[in-house]
Amino acid sequence: MSGPVFYGNPYGVTVSPQATTASQLPSNGTTYTVLFTVLNTGNNMDSYDLLTAKRPGTAISVALIAGTGVTHGANPDSARLANIDVGASASVTVTYSVASVAAGTIDTLVLTTRSVGDRT
């Protein structure tokens, strides 16, 4: 046999918090932030695509995903977090604004991480 031998899953990631609640008024030019922690639970150094989603998406607009090791593409709602070592974590801040919507409107911001090393 040749090549690397892996014990456990070579690629893995967890994001916390899995859920958080914020009650925000319309932004009127103000932005808000939420802090996520991305933890490499795999057996290899890995990079991660960071993707935001809004459900249903009527109130929240993502302005920026930021943090050490984070690079951006053309869209503010996605980025890449590079070279996180085995067992290491990184802090990622998502900056968003709230549109002028009716009182009681509920929207959810979701941060998804996808391994660059394992696209399955």
Q: Can you give the residue ranges of every domain in the chain?
A: 13-115
Mean pLDDT lowest for which of 22-26, 31-35, 44-48? 22-26
Is residue 81 within 8 A of residue 70, CB to CB? The reply is yes
Closest among 35, 44, 58 to 12, alpha carbons compared: 44
Tokens of 117: 């090393």
- Which has the higher per-residue pLDDT, 26 or 87? 87
Q: What is the pTM of this model?
A: 0.86
Q: Which CATH class is domain 13-115?
A: mainly beta
Which pLDDT tens digit goes with each residue over 62-93? 999 999 999 998 899 999 999 999 999 999 99
Q: Where residue 50 falls among pLDDT bands split at 50, 70, 90? A: very high
pLDDT exceeds 60 at position 99: yes
